[in-house]
Amino acid sequence: MKLDVDVLRYLSKDDFRVLTAVEMGMRNVNLFFVFIPFLKLIFIINFLLIFIFLFQHEIVPSDLIGRIASLKHGGTYKVLKNLLKHKLVHHDSSKYDGFRLTYLGYDFLAIKTMVNRGVFTAVGRQIGVGKESDIFEVSNEDGTVMAMKLHRLGRTSFRAVKSKRDYLRHRSSFNWLYLSRLAALKEFAFMKALEEHGFPVPNAVDCNRHCVVMSLIQGYPLVQVKQLQNPETVFETIIGLVVRLAEHGLIHCDFNEFNIMIDDDEKVTMIDFPQMVSVSHRNAQMYFDRDIECIFKFFGKRFNLSFEECSDDIDDDESSRPSFSSITKTSGFLDKELAASGFTRKDEDDIRKFIEGDVEEDDVSDDEHDSELCQTNIKGFDSLYLDQEESTSRCNEEGQVVENLQSPEVDQSGDPESQNLSSNEGDENDDTELVKSLAKQRRRAMAAARKGHHKNSTSRNYYKDKGGKSSNNSKIQKQLASW
């Protein structure tokens, strides 16, 4: 799915309210497990049945969305239809009528939050595509261009690798959006900590949901570089980085020519941190050796540097490389910084389970994953220009100045309704009003569901949407399913 930020500008407050309600509905499912200890046995069984069912499918029932969004004049059905048209939600009526966020919907929520925070005001072209991410240029009010990385865990490429593995043990179901959010949080936390310890990494600007904003590296991935003035120096710098990381208690785990950027002055910057592990990891030595091996191999092949590892003689090989055991490692050195960024041990456990292949994908259609894949367009690094002059600002109802988001191709006309972009992350301070009101609605919806009153209030909204012809959910299901 292409990230067309033009659509974002034409989404109304209600659109975002409902989109946020879908996200909250999905989070509800996770939150439920937190409350289990406080529920009586009979409720536990009831709720377990309902929520395990939801948890496995990650589909939020339409009526729950209606309750959470609780639009003043009804209209959830119409809004959902619009969101569906723009592929921001996915409709599923296979087991019950419901919706879930798509990556595009999640993108929009994250982008809107970033815009509200003033992190950036414009989104430009796509500059990179990784195994599990898309990278775009973004620009702030001053015209500073940065990089925005949208994590996309669960891509086909990754799944292809996973399907080759035999990881059937301890399988658990995780939501791809949740995992992508963890990957982003981890990347942000590590980038910040590494920067503070003087490592050459991009400057970590901000993080929300599955989105990380960082400084733009004016360089090229090493894999694209055919010639270097000083290959030996660059090689030594890179190997030195692996060693210094280990001294700080960390192993990159994906340290290769794709994740090392190099500029015209042959300055090295390392990127891509979601898979980093501690030196105390049970496979630390293997990961360390693999990182070292990648660099030796690449420099040997690409720049004809001759190392002893080029021969097949293992003894020679060992004598020429940094050895994991001889490095003085400081485990837990960065723990404080990581915790400060909100990245917890549980987050780490969850994401490691996925990276190490212990996670079973959830019920997301292949079509959608595949279509979200590969529609990327890397145009290289020649033109980093974002047309700032085209970015217009205007005032919303509250008198705040809001910049239009735009892609280079779009015009400057702004949709007044898209001005109040907001976030719903519980730990965010922005848009607290919307978060509060939706949280209240969510509590009410949960309470009503417990009492079994859910049909009435939902049908009220739907009744209005459909011109008063029907308030019956099954009819809505039919209509939604036929889109």
Residue 66 lies near Mg ion (rule: CB under 5 A): no
Task: Name the residue among 363, 345, 398 with its Cα closest to residue 185.
Answer: 345
- Residue 184 and residue 212 in contact, taking contact as beta carbons nearer than 8 Å: yes
Output helix, strand, coil percentages for the chain, rounded to the nearest 5. Answer: 50, 15, 40
| Contacts (CB under 5 A) with Mg ion, residues 114-133 | 130
Does 259 bind ligand ADP (CB under 6 A)? Our answer is yes
Told to check if 126 binds ligand ADP by CB under 6 A, we report: no
Q: Alpha-carbon distance 186 to 476, whole Å?
A: 40
By the rule CB under 6 A, 258 interacts with ligand ADP: yes
Candidate segments 21-29, 232-240, 257-265, 377-385, binder of Mg ion by CB under 5 A: 257-265
- Does position 383 bind ligand ADP by CB under 6 A? no
Decide if 92 contacts 362 (C-beta within 8 A).
Answer: no
- Is 254 known to be catalytic? yes
Least separation in angstroms between residue 321's CB and ligand ADP is: 24
User: Which of the stretches 50-58, 124-132, 289-297, 396-404 binds ligand ADP when contact is defined by CB under 6 A?
Assistant: 124-132
Residues in the interface with Mg ion (CB under 5 A) total 4
207, 271, 292, 448: which one binds ligand ADP (CB under 6 A) = 271
CB 401 within 8 A of CB 394: yes
Q: Six-digit token pair at 288?
A: 């360390």
Q: Which does 147 bind (CB under 5 to 8 A by kind): ligand ADP, Mg ion, none?
A: ligand ADP
Closest chain position to ligand ADP (CB): 130
CA distance 91 to 367: 13
**259 or 441: whose CB is closer to Mg ion?**
259
Give dist(CA 346, CA 349) in Å, integer. 5
Whichever of 115 and 135 has its CB closer to Mg ion, that residue is 135
Among residues 14, 97, 254, 350, the one annotated as catalytic is 254
State how far the alpha carbon of 220 is from the alpha carbons of 127, 212, 229, 257, 385, in Å.
Answer: 11, 19, 15, 10, 16
- 8 A C-beta contact, residue 247 and residue 237: no
Return the range that interacts with Mg ion (CB under 5 A); candidates 120-128, 152-160, 215-223, 251-259. 251-259
* Residue placing its CB nearer to ligand ADP in the complex, 253 or 445: 253
Check residue 272 for interaction with Mg ion (CB under 5 A).
yes
Buried b (16+ CB within 10 A) or exposed e, 320-348: ebeebeebebeeebbeebbeebebeeebb
Rule CB under 6 A: choose which of 131, 440, 450, 469 binds ligand ADP: 131
Q: Which residues bind ligand ADP (CB under 6 A)?
A: 127-128, 130-133, 135, 147, 149, 202, 214, 216-217, 221, 258-259, 271-272
What residues are labeled active site? 254
